[in-house]
């Protein structure tokens, strides 16, 4: 088991300027030490969407731009 940490990330669409926030969980997986952390979206506030899987990009629901990848 790795270390799990939740945090809130502010979101702002680079294309249309829509703002919101997302609650994310990062799981420091020892098998991937030194690489990027696993990131899971727990909750999204605002007109954004993400697939419910690890490291899925968060997209703007208005213009489909990638807001966080
Ligand atoms: Zn947008």
Task: Identify how many contiguous H helices and E strands the chain contains and give both numbers.
Answer: 0, 6
CB atoms within 5 A of ion ligand 1 belong to 13, 15-16, 18, 60, 62-63, 65
Domain that holds residue 21: 3-68
Query: So what's the pLDDT on residue 54?
Result: 79
CB of 43 within 8 A of CB of 23? yes
Give the SS3 label for residue 6: strand
Residue 6's pLDDT band, with cuts at 50, 70 and 90, is very high
Average pLDDT over residues 24-42: 74
Structure tokens at 39: 């990131």
Number of domains in the chain: 1
Residues 34-68: pLDDT tens digits? 666 678 899 999 999 998 777 889 999 999 999 99
Q: Does 1 have pLDDT greater than 60?
A: no
Span from the CA of 47 to the centroid of ligand 1 (angstroms) = 9
**pLDDT over 70 at 30, yes or no:** no
């Amino acid at each position: 088991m790795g270390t799990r940490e939740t945090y809130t990330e502010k979101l702002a669409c680079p294309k249309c300027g829509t703002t919101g926030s997302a609650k994310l969980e990062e799981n420091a997986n020892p098998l991937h030490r030194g690489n990027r952390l696993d990131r899971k979206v727990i909750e999204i506030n605002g007109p954004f969407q993400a697939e419910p899987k690890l490291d899925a990009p968060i997209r703007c629901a208005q213009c489909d731009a990638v807001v966080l990848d």
